[in-house]
Amino acid sequence: MSHSGDADGGHQSFTDKLKNPFHELKDKLKGTHLHDAKVALTHKKHQIGKFGNLFNPEHRHDEEHEKACDEKRTKIGEGHRFKSYFPEHDGNMIKWYVDGRDYFHAVSVALEQAQESIYIADWWLSPELFLRRPPSLNQEWRLDQVLKRRAEAGVKIYVAVYREVEAALTCNSEHTKHALQSLCPEGSPGYGNIKIMRHPDHNVLENAADMTFYWAHHEKFIVIDYKMAFIGGLDLCFGRWDNHQHPLSDVHPEGVHNEVWPGQDFNNNRVMDFQNVQDWKQNELSKADYGRMPWHDVAMGVIGPCVYDIAEHFVLRWNFIKRDKYKRDDRFDWIELRGRQGDDEDLVGVQRPKHPVGDYVVHPYTPLETKNLENRGTIHAQIVRSSADWSSGILRDHSIQNAYCEIIRNAQHYVYIENQFFITATGDQQSPVHNQIGRAIVEACVRAGKEGRKFRVIILIPAIPGFAGDLRDDAATGTRAIMDYQFKSICRGEHSIFEQIRKEGVDPTQHIFVFNLRTYDRLNKTPQIKKQEEQSGVPYHELQRAQAEEIMGSGIHGSKDVEGGIDKHMGKTESNGGPDLDDVAEKKRRFEAARDGAPEPTTAFSVAHHAMADTGDLTDQPWEGDPKDEVENWIQEELYIHAKLLIVDDRIVVCGSSNLNDRSQEGHHDSELSIVMEDTDRIQSVMDGQPFEAGRHAATLRRYLWREHLGLLPPQDLDVKDDVNAQPPGDDSPNDAWDREDSYKFVEDPMSEDVWKMWTENATTNTEIFRHLFHADPDDHVKTFDDYNLFLPPKGVKAGHIFDKFLPPEDIRNKLNKIKGHLVWMPLDFLKDANMAETGLQVNQFTESVYA
């Protein structure tokens, strides 16, 4: 989704769509004498709300009880590492999850076991998300069905989601709210057990001071019974479920019931953004013509004392939203935490109003000592965040940035980064970019260079970060602006990381390496599929819709609700029209009847697994029909990197929701939550050829990720079977690092020249093949927009397909067979001789900070 929250880059026309509210503000201020206004607004602040913040730089922190609470929090933070409000804890058990298959299955198991409470904070939540695949065999594991079961069992469920700017974003949190509210209507079991809040409101008078038209609640975490938490980069929403081979195709001649991504869940934002997500079963993107956008991500499951800190942050946010938006709404209670009760210990957030509406409910419901959080594992961990007044009612907290800077600055061997963005500064000369992670990278590289020490910073980011379609279009100006900031952060201009290192007499090309991920597949639109389309009169696109109607059409949806108020119809169900099941069944019957007498299909629905280990030779894959038709069906796409991950020296890991840009790192922009982890369980390893004690958690995660990217892991089945990596954290489910394979030992030493040779050679080979066969962009050969027009097919031609349709089919197969893993080089010369983002409506002094 192209947006300013999770894709964080701004919608293609995001700023243009938002200019009217700010013109409205300008009109309201026109003719106002600011000094008189300040005096009047200070006296009448309680009457006019947050508009007074325009003249109050401390926002709502000017009253005595607020100042006292701020002083308590600040004092606590000053005594902690990274100036985080949260302390360091020993004894955590933390499990890593790579990609959505394992993570969502683990979450499904954990949610089903909930007995008391579930907290969920998400940028976007899709109630119709299937946590297990294929959906046709896992109807009971759709998210809304899981939550409904737990609510009916008496579990109290609290959900806080970002309320998007509806004119610019398509995630539709209103649908999320209505769908969840309708799961347990009045009079049914579970009524009142699901509470959902959306925040912030988007009233120009209330939001102008905080700029919350642009900033988002970006956290992704879950807390279950105060016993277990999940934290990382994965929202519970469409488009995130994926496995290690990252297939692009989902066409099934053997039966549409085998589809993996139904309805809106099949998505490629490079072709078309999500549309009308409240109609979850529809999808305007035909699987027979386009591939999906694959998704790479990382998350953590936590048992231990850090669970309480994650829960405390949720309570902070919940009470703040209650006070900020639902203060007089008795549908929502105030949460008190055990151990944080009473005026003296009111550190959970927001000071309560003098005349609150709603009950005070103490969480957890049973004593903390029953949660068994102490001494559960070997990981020393700490919660860090980006948070501020607009997002949680506190003074600015940018402890995530503090952690990144300190950990990188102290690195001795390597820094490994996976992130959705890479926008940072090396000093105070790159406004509007201010975060200093770039400076920490410069210092670490310069120190290593002058000491003659081998040291690498390896960065993986998406090839195109903002989901734009054709980067040549005017609508892609915002995405090009993000890319421009990234190039200026890395290698362009005197303040870039490269030039600042070079200025110190050190060669940056020996230390910093930047990569993207990319994958290929084959659309399975066989001659048999075409024949069935013709004979049945049902295009495959309509068949996929019919399947989605059948798979996703169940459930109770649609209660109406007045935002911030009480609605007399709350909890009642209203029809959403629903699918015409007779028509759905008839379309499926006709299409499948047209297959009668046809032999069983021999082509695989996806061949993406051939980039992984132990999968045989791609050239042996059957293709039904004329080999020339196969040429039309080869596709490629960037593998979208959404992880927010830092690993240093095989010892320290930082994972959470925080992107590497000002939006996520500065604290007063997007709200974020991350966790810093260092395992005290040391394993004997090797670093640059020398014996080395690595932390088990960091080393096994890094080895697992590197083998996925190098194609040294086997592909994954849909059924997790006995895969321990797809289970929640626990004494009986430690991570399986696949250490029984030779590849585990091969990647043991992150500084090994053999490993580095494979890494760079794979990236080089893959880059050249994607360039030759698909003219995949962005590319180093494209230095100007004239180059771009020569490099890409004409506008309007389907993206991602073979560029030269006259290539011999066997040549295409032979070249694709050489692709191993998903690594490609980041094209650091892309559009280097062009003005990537001209100043104008979308890129100007006002909007620059949005992209940074």
In whole angstroms, give the CA distance from residue 697 to residue 181: 39
In whole angstroms, give the CA distance from residue 417 to residue 31: 50
Q: Is 690 exposed, middle or buried (0-12, 13-18, 19+ CB in 10 A)?
A: exposed
Residue 642 bears catalytic tag: yes
DSSP structure string for 538-605: --HHHHHHHHHHHHH--S-------TTS--TTTT---------HHHHHHHHHHHHHTTTTPPPP-S-S
Angle at alpha carbon of residue 796, lines to 790 and 800, rounded to 5°: 75
Nearest Cα residue to 220 out of 179, 159, 176, 275: 159
Which is the catalytic residue, given 99, 649, 670, 779? Answer: 649
First to last CA, the chain: 18
Q: Residue 476 phi/psi, 5° resolution? A: -95, 10
**Tell me, what DSSP letter sits at residue 620?**
G
Residue 644 bears catalytic tag: yes
Q: Which helix (H) or strand (E) holds 445?
A: helix 437-451
Q: Taking a C-beta distance cutoff of 8 angstroms, is the pair 340, 313 a contact?
A: no
Residue identified by tokens 């362009």 is 492
Nearest Cα residue to 349 out of 324, 320, 322, 372: 320
Show the tokens assigned to 190. Answer: 């579970």
What is the 3-state secondary structure of 293-321?
A: CCEECEEEEEECCHHHHHHHHHHHHHHHH
DSSP structure string for 192-249: T-EEEEEE----HHHHTTTTTTT--B---EEEETTTEEEEES--SSTT----TT----
Which is the catalytic residue, given 511, 642, 669, 775? Answer: 642
Residue 656 three-state SS: strand
In whole angstroms, give the CA distance from residue 532 to residue 588: 11
In whole angstroms, give the CA distance from residue 253 to residue 187: 45
Show the tokens assigned to 730. Answer: 């626990």
Residue 220 bears catalytic tag: yes
Sheet strands (E) in 425-500? 456-460
Residue 73 three-state SS: helix
* Cis before 262 (ω within 30): no
Which is the catalytic residue, given 225, 250, 484, 749? Answer: 225
Would you put residue 831 in left (φ > 0), alpha (ψ -120 to 50) or beta?
left
Q: Is 829 exposed, middle or buried (0-12, 13-18, 19+ CB in 10 A)?
A: middle
Show the tokens assigned to 15. Answer: 């700023």
In whole angstroms, give the CA distance from residue 408 to residue 397: 19
Helix-strand-coil split of the chain, %, nearest 5: 35, 15, 50
Residues in the chain: 852
Angle at alpha carbon of residue 772, lines to 769 and 776, rounded to 5°: 85
Q: Residue 698 phi/psi, 5° resolution? A: -70, -45
Angle at alpha carbon of residue 541, lines to 539 and 547, rounded to 5°: 105
Residue identified by tokens 């950990």 is 407
Which is the catalytic residue, given 89, 218, 587, 775? Answer: 218
Q: Is 254 exposed, middle or buried (0-12, 13-18, 19+ CB in 10 A)?
A: middle
Which is the catalytic residue, given 105, 252, 644, 668? Answer: 644
CA 307 to chain CA centroid, nearest Å: 21
In whole angstroms, give the CA distance from residue 117 to residue 126: 20
Q: Taking a C-beta distance cutoff of 8 angstroms, is the pair 1, 273 a contact?
A: yes
Nearest Cα residue to 101 out of 222, 303, 248, 246: 246
Q: Which residues are catalytic?
A: 218, 220, 225, 642, 644, 649
